[in-house]
Homo-oligomer: A and B are copies of this chain.
Amino acid sequence: MTSPAFFEDFVVGSSYEFGEYHVSREEILQFAAMYDPQPFHLSDEEGKKTLFGGLCASGWHTCSMAMRMIVDNMPKENTGTLGSPGIDELRWIKPVLPGDILRMKTTILDKIESRSRPGMGSIFMLNEMFNRKDELVMSNKPIVMCRKRN
């Protein structure tokens, strides 16, 4: 399901699933070389020496892949989304590996109208990322600022 467009459209307690992200070895290595050049993100050999058991994606790469699925699932013409002031309880639960296919589930936990800016409010979400074996690999709780319909 495409994510809701405006503050009024987010239903607390509802959830929606979306996305399909194919994780390649090349992309893991490319991201790591640029932003997180730790040995276990750059080489199988070094990954095998760690708790991860092999080459795995940077946690920030994992979050970035989640974001890409989230943006691709936003309504194309009209979205009230205004960005995020932050994220709570980001957890990297299982390593993201070359060849993984990832998908997302978003649950709307709460929403609050802004007192200072009457045209907008905050949406509190739970984002969960799963791999092909339906294992939860990452979760986080973003706060998203969102415009009202009018």
Which residues does chain B contribute within 8 Å of A40, judged by CB atoms?
83
Q: Mark A46-65, 1 if CB is under 8 A from B, else 0.
A: 00001110000011110111
- Does chain B have a CB within 8 A of A37? yes
Contact with B along A24-36 (1 / 0, CB 8 A): 0000000100111
Task: State the interface size on chain A (CB cutoff 8 A).
Answer: 35
Consensus secondary structure, chain A interface: mixed
Option from B60, B68, B90 in Cβ contact (under 8 Å) with A34: B68
A residues lining the B interface (CB < 8 Å): 31, 34-38, 40, 50-52, 58-61, 63-65, 67-68, 71, 74, 81-93, 145
